[in-house]
Every structure is written in structure tokens, then in C-alpha cells.
């Protein structure tokens, strides 16, 4: 055998100049079929038990999947019993069709029909392998031999299906998979499917589902799309078939394969939640559907509570959804990078200010709220984070809208803290840092008593405002101070001059209300120029809108003296 990469046989793409898929776009969602309970389940270390399968089945129904492959009832007693419970326990909604898989072999087909007895809507899905590799290595049969297996199975299924329909009024449809389609000569795939269609009596009213599995993904999605378009264009009686795909994910491109296959003319996709399935899994229905959603296409499936879906999936399958899994991963709406945080912050502000009807936030391809994920921290702070992220956390988690000029200073404080801690810091730590740095600053000066009043006791623009209070310096005895000014801030500065706090220039001031529970407070951000010409910020909080700026001023002065 050759060594290393040279021992592999590359996929030979078809020559297909007539392709039209590259210039198409996806305009509507396909028919979705979940194979979680079959392909997904068979790939689990510990397959789901009855309760877990039922829970997963109900979850899929709630999501809105209308075709659900529930198992391989001829494969084991457990699979058989699960199907019986689904039917006899009345778990299947009238608008949901269950699908059962069976190999094109007589005894398995018979057992399958026993298992579906009493179901209202069923797809009987049969398959046999058609690829060159499987013909050579596994079945040691030529194309005629493989076709015979398919047709023998098809004839029996049609006979038993007709009987069951006559007996119980069951609505039976049929699906045939030329398994390992991706490694099958396309002419042969078309020919065998056409023969099966004839046996099943498929027509425009009784369409057969022809499912084209990429059983083991072996090429790039574009080459697979060529195969699908070739198949669609060359299949006689195309109108009598629903073309389905069943992409696996061996090259990590199962979703892309499904998307390009839809461009190429497929009508239906089989896949699983979070891409669970044999080896690297199946195409992930969630990613596929939400990719459409973010292109303004209704996916026909409901993922508005993705966390619940994830929770049920992880519990019933004992698999973990990766932190970076599209849409559902724990970290996918989280930005650590400073420039990303800044842009998200600006995007959120833009959305608020412009009242845009559309989602226009950089770095977030979907509104997390559409998935029920609004309460998660979008921005998380580590040493790579920047001022924008810190401001975002303060605003979204605590309602503090820091003025822009404060962002660099506080950003640096948080960054130094992260560096020292050597880890991510949580939102409450950011807030504690803020409080410690700007709010709880009562040294060297501390006000022990204060009051403002107007001369007449009635507020009037022309009236002077008086301040009276007591201030302590470095814990010494309090000193009485008072001042009169055009407003509270002016009066307070006048009073401070009595303890030689002079030379500060008032640069800027902003204030807003914050509510903590039912408790509304005013918060003031004060920017002063110190006697040495430096800029310093202070923050004051109070229920009284006169006291908040006063506290902010003292915070700024104390901070400047500390520095
Ligand atoms: O991957 C596959 O080919 C299958 C078939 C049975 C459809 O699961
Ligand atoms: Zn499969």
C-alpha cells in the first residue's frame, strides 16, 4: 500500500457544464425530516431509553418538525417497542408523519409493517447501498444485482403498504435511499431510483421520496451539489419525486452540503439537532434553519427557546453541545476582543437611537433574544477586552451609562485587574471595581452632614442656593462649611473653598436615573480639571438629584488627591 496521503483515492467530480445552482439563492425552507431518533440515536454510546426517546420526540414536535424518523423497528426489540408506545400511547400528533427505516430485505420489511400497525401517517423508508465501493467490497454484486435487491424490497413494501392502507386507512408514503449515493455513479443512481419509482407507482399525486445520502462525506459541497442537480435534471418523472438529502459531516461541511444541495434542486433535508449522528454526525438542522432565518427566510421551525432544546438534547443523548456550536454554544454570543466589544456596544446604541427595524449589530449575526438568549452576558471581560466591553457591561448589567470620556480610564482599571487576576472577570466584579474606584471614595474628605436650600424655600431660577454641611479631613474632627451659589454645584464649590479645596475647574457633568429593583436613584458623572491641570472623574449616587452631583464632585476631588 502507498504511504501517507498518497494512499487515498480522490473524489472524481462529474463533468456538468449545465449546472445552474451557483447563481441561485435559497428562497424557502425545505421539508425537514429529523433522524435524531434513528441515525442520531444509533450513534450514541448509550442509546436513548423509552422515556428519553419520547421526550425527544415531543421536543421535535414542539420545534415544528413534521416528518420524524423514529427508528429501525426491525433492528431490535427495543426499537420495536418504542414504536408501539408512540402509536398506542397516542404520542403522535395528526399533522406529524413518523418515518421508519428498513433495509430492502424481506423479513425486516415484514417486521416493520407489524411495527407501524395503527399509525395514521407513515413513511416507510427503505435503502440499499449502491456505491462502487460497497458493490465491490461488501456486496460483491454488479449494478444489476444491486438493482434487484432494491426492486425486490420495493415490490414487497408496495404490496404490504397497499394492504395496510386498505386495512387501516393509514396514509403510507415511501422513501428510497440509494445509500452511499455520493459514491455512486450518477447515471446508476438515476436508473435505480427510476426503477424503484415505477414499482412503487409514483406519480405527481403519490410522490416518492428519493433520498440522496452523503453517507460518508467525501468531497466538497460544490461537487455534491453537481450530483444533486444532475440527478434532478436527469430523473425521468421528476414531478413524481420529492428529492431529499441526508448529508453526513465527515469533512465538517454537512451543513454547507445541504445548503448547496438545496440550490441544486433538492426539496427536503434529513438531519439532526446539533448534528448528532454516526461518526462526525449528520447535518445540523438547527444551524441550517437558523442560517435561513438570518437571511430573512422563515425556516418553519421554532428555535425561540434554544437553551431548553439544548438542555433536553444534552440530557437525553448524554452528548455535549460545544461552546462554539453555531447559535447554541455557550460562547457564541460572547465577545472578548476589545474592538468587537466596542462595535457591539455601538451597534446596540445605534439600534436604540435609530429605532432601526432591522438587526444591525456588528459581530452578532442573529439577535440572541430571538433564541431566548437575551439574558446571557454578550460581553465578557478578560485581559483582551477593551473599554467598550466594560462600558457595555456597566450599561446592560447595571444600567450605568458611563460618559465616553470615562471609558478609557475605567477600561484600564479593569484591564489591570484582569491582568493581575490572570482570568476572566465577571460582571459583578466589574461593578465592584467601579464602586470601589468611583463611588465609595470618602477619603481624604468625607461629608458627614449636608443640606441644600433656597432662600424662600421655593425653587426659582433667579434664587440663590445655599449649602450647609460638615466635612471631615483624614478622619479628624468635622468642620462646618457653607456656601451660596447660582445652583447646588456652585454653592458646594463655594463651601469647599472654606477648607482650602480650590483650583478645581468644572469640565463636564452628566446624570441619569437608574433603578435598582424598585429603588430609583440618580447617578452623576463629574469631570473636573485639577489645580495641576489633570482631568479627573468622580461618580455620585443619591435618591436626591442635588446630592448625586455633590457626591460626584467630592469623589473626583478625593480621587485626584489619592492619585
Ligand atoms: O447515512 C445514510 O446513508 C443513512 C441511510 C440509511 C439513509 O443513514
Ligand atoms: Zn445516515
CATH number of domain containing 549: 3.30.160.270
Q: Tell me phi and psi for residue 408, to 5 degrees.
A: -60, -40
Please check whether residues 483 and 417 belong to one and the same domain: no
Ligand 2 center–CA 39 separation, angstroms: 6
Residue reference for cell 489591570: 416
Tell which one of 101, 123, 193, 254 to mutate to probe ligand 1, the residue whose CB is within 8 A of the most ligand atoms.
101
Please check whether residues 373 and 256 belong to one and the same domain: no
Please check whether residues 135 and 244 belong to one and the same domain: yes
Tell which one of 138, 174, 176, 246 to mutate to probe ligand 1, the residue whose CB is within 8 A of the most ligand atoms.
246
Q: Which of 252, 158, 154, 254 is nearest to 213 (CA)?
A: 254
Please check whether residues 413 and 523 belong to one and the same domain: no
CATH number, domain with residue 133: 3.20.20.70
Q: Which ligand is nearest to the CA of 276?
A: 2
pLDDT for the residue 392: 85
Q: 405, 432, 459: which is the final residue of a domain?
A: 432
Nearest-angstrom CA–CA distance, 135 and 129: 8
Which residue is closest in CA terms to ligand 1's atom 8? Answer: 39
Ligand 2 center–CA 467 separation, angstroms: 79
Please check whether residues 165 and 85 belong to one and the same domain: yes
Query: Residue 376: inside a domain, yes or no?
Result: yes
pLDDT for the residue 176: 98
Which residue is closest in CA terms to ligand 1's atom 1? Answer: 215
The domain total for the chain is 3
Q: Which of 176, 327, 151, 317 is nearest to 241 (CA)?
A: 176
Nearest-angstrom CA–CA distance, 317 and 173: 29
- Kindly state the cell numbers that stand for 124: 416507510
- Kindly state the cell numbers that stand for 84: 408501539
Please check whether residues 110 and 258 belong to one and the same domain: yes
Q: 432, 466, 498: which is the final residue of a domain?
A: 432
Tell which one of 34, 36, 39, 270 to mutate to probe ligand 1, the residue whose CB is within 8 A of the most ligand atoms.
39
Which residue is closest in CA terms to ligand 1's atom 5? Answer: 179
Query: Residue 377: inside a domain, yes or no?
Result: yes
Nearest-angstrom CA–CA distance, 232 and 181: 13
pLDDT for the residue 516: 60
- Asked whether the beta carbons of 300 and 372 are under 8 A apart, the reply is no
Atom of ligand 1 nearest to the CA of 177: 7
Query: Residue 397: inside a domain, yes or no?
Result: yes
Residues belonging to the chain:
563
Alpha helical stretches, state H, 47-138: 50-63, 77-88, 106-115, 132-134
Please check whether residues 292 and 228 belong to one and the same domain: yes
pLDDT for the residue 357: 96
Beta 67-71 vs 97-103: how paired, if at all? parallel
Domain extent, residue 503, equals 445-562
Cis bond before residue 444 (omega within 30° of 0): yes
Angle, to 10 degrees, between the axis of helix 407-421 and the axis of helix 427-434?
120
Please check whether residues 255 and 400 belong to one and the same domain: no
Ligand 1 center–CA 55 separation, angstroms: 24
Nearest-angstrom CA–CA distance, 213 and 156: 23
Query: Residue 126: inside a domain, yes or no?
Result: yes
Which residue is closest in CA terms to ligand 1's atom 2? Answer: 215
Q: 284, 317, 350: which is the final residue of a domain?
A: 317
Please identify every stretch of the chain with a pLDDT value under 50, giving residue numbers as ranges.
none
Q: Which residues line ligand 1 (CB under 6 A)?
A: 39, 101, 127, 177, 179, 211, 213, 215, 246, 248
Q: Which of 403, 378, 383 is nearest to 393 (CA)?
A: 378
Nearest-angstrom CA–CA distance, 191 and 189: 6
Query: Residue 328: inside a domain, yes or no?
Result: no
Query: Residue 303: inside a domain, yes or no?
Result: yes
Which residues are near ligand 2, the ion (C-beta closer than 5 Å)? Answer: 39
Q: What sign does the dihedral 292-295-299-301 (CA atoms) show?
A: positive
Ligand 2 center–CA 33 separation, angstroms: 12
Nearest-angstrom CA–CA distance, 83 and 77: 10
Q: Kind and range of the H or E element at 229?
A: helix 221-234
Query: Residue 6: inside a domain, yes or no?
Result: no
Please check whether residues 223 and 269 belong to one and the same domain: yes
Tell which one of 36, 150, 177 to mutate to probe ligand 1, the residue whose CB is within 8 A of the most ligand atoms.
177
Query: Residue 1: inside a domain, yes or no?
Result: no
Residues 6+ apart with CB under 8 A from 181: 130, 131, 189, 212, 213, 214, 215, 227
DSSP 285-311: HHHHHHHHHTTT---SS--TTHHHHHH
Q: Which of 496, 498, 511 is nearest to 546 (CA)?
A: 511
Q: Kind and range of the H or E element at 187?
A: helix 186-200
pLDDT for the residue 84: 97
Please check whether residues 177 and 262 belong to one and the same domain: yes
Q: Which ligand is nearest to the CA of 277?
A: 2
Beta 31-34 vs 67-71: how paired, if at all? parallel
pLDDT for the residue 375: 57
pLDDT for the residue 348: 87
Please check whether residues 426 and 543 belong to one and the same domain: no
Burial class (CB in 10 A: 0-12, 13-18, 19+), 279: exposed
Atom of ligand 1 nearest to the CA of 181: 3
Please check whether residues 485 and 428 belong to one and the same domain: no
Amino acid at each position: 500500500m502507498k504511504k501517507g496521503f498518497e494512499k487515498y483515492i480522490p473524489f472524481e467530480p462529474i463533468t456538468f457544464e449545465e449546472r445552474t445552482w451557483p447563481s441561485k439563492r435559497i428562497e424557502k425552507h425545505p421539508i425537514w425530516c429529523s433522524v435524531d431518533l434513528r441515525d442520531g440515536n444509533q450513534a450514541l454510546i448509550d442509546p436513548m431509553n423509552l422515556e428519553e426517546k419520547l421526550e425527544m420526540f415531543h421536543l421535535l414536535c414542539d420545534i415544528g418538525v413534521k416528518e420524524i424518523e423514529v427508528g429501525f423497528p426491525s433492528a431490535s426489540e427495543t426499537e420495536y417497542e418504542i414504536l408501539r408506545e408512540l402509536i398506542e400511547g397516542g404520542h403522535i400528533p395528526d399533522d406529524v408523519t413518523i418515518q421508519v427505516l428498513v433495509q430492502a430485505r424481506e423479513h425486516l420489511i415484514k417486521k416493520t409493517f407489524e411495527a407501524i400497525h395503527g399509525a395514521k401517517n407513515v413513511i416507510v423508508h427503505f435503502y440499499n447501498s449502491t456505491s462502487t465501493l460497497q458493490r465491490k467490497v461488501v456486496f460483491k454484486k454488479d449494478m444489476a444485482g444491486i438493482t434487484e435487491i432494491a426492486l425486490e424490497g420495493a415490490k414487497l413494501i408496495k404490496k404490504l403498504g397497499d394492504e395496510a392502507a386498505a386495512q387501516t386507512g393509514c396514509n403510507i408514503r415511501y422513501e428510497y435511499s440509494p445509500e452511499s449515493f455520493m459514491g455512486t455513479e450518477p447515471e446508476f443512481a438515476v436508473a435505480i431510483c427510476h426503477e424503484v419509482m415505477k414499482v412503487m407507482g409514483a406519480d405527481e399525486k403519490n410522490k416518492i421520496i428519493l433520498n440522496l445520502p452523503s453517507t460518508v462525506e467525501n468531497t466538497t459541497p460544490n461537487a455534491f451539489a453537481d450530483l444533486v442537480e444532475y440527478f434532478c435534471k436527469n430523473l425521468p418523472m421528476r414531478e413524481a419525486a420529492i428529492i431529499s438529502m441526508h448529508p453526513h459531516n465527515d469533512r465538517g461541511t454537512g451543513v454547507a452540503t445541504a445548503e448547496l444541495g438545496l440550490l441544486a434542486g433538492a426539496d427536503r433535508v434529513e438531519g439532526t439537532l446539533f448534528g448528532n449522528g454516526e461518526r462526525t454526525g449528520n447535518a445540523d438542522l438547527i444551524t441550517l434553519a437558523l442560517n435561513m432565518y438570518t437571511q430573512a427566510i422563515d425556516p418553519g421551525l421554532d428555535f425561540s427557546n434554544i437553551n431548553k432544546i439544548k438542555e433536553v438534547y444534552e440530557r437525553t443523548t448524554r452528548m455535549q453541545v460545544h461552546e462554539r456550536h453555531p447559535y447554541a454554544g455557550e460562547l457564541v454570543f460572547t465577545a472578548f476582543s476589545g474592538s468587537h466589544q466596542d462595535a457591539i456596544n455601538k451597534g446596540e446604541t445605534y439600534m436604540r437611537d435609530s429605532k432601526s427595524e432591522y438587526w444591525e449589530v456588528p459581530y452578532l449575526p442573529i439577535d440572541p433574544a430571538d433564541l431566548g438568549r437575551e439574558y446571557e452576558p454578550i460581553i465578557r471581560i478578560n485581559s483582551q477586552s477593551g473599554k467598550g466591553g466594560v462600558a457595555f457591561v456597566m450599561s446592560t448589567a447595571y444600567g450605568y451609562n458611563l460618559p465616553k470620556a470615562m471609558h478609557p480610564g475605567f477600561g484600564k482599571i479593569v484591564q489591570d485587574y484582569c491582568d493581575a487576576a490572570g482570568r476572566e472577570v465577571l460582571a459583578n466584579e466589574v461593578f465592584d471595581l467601579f464602586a470601589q474606584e468611583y463611588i465609595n471614595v470618602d477619603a481624604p474628605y468625607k461629608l458627614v452632614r449636608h443640606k441644600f436650600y433656597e432662600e424662600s424655600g421655593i425653587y426659582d431660577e433667579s434664587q440663590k442656593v445655599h449649602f450647609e454641611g460638615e466635612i471631615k479631613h483624614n478622619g479628624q474632627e468635622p468642620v462646618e462649611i457653607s456656601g451660596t451659589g447660582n445652583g447646588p454645584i456652585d454653592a458646594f464649590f463655594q463651601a469647599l473653598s472654606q477648607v482650602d479645596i480650590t483650583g478645581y475647574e468644572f469640565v463636564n457633568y452628566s446624570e441619569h436615573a437608574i433603578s435598582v429593583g424598585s429603588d430609583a436613584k440618580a447617578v452623576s458623572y463629574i469631570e473636573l480639571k485639577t489645580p495641576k491641570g489633570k482631568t479627573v472623574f468622580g461618580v455620585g449616587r443619591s435618591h436626591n438629584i442635588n446630592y448625586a452631583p455633590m457626591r460626584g464632585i467630592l469623589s473626583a476631588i478625593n480621587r485626584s488627591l489619592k492619585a
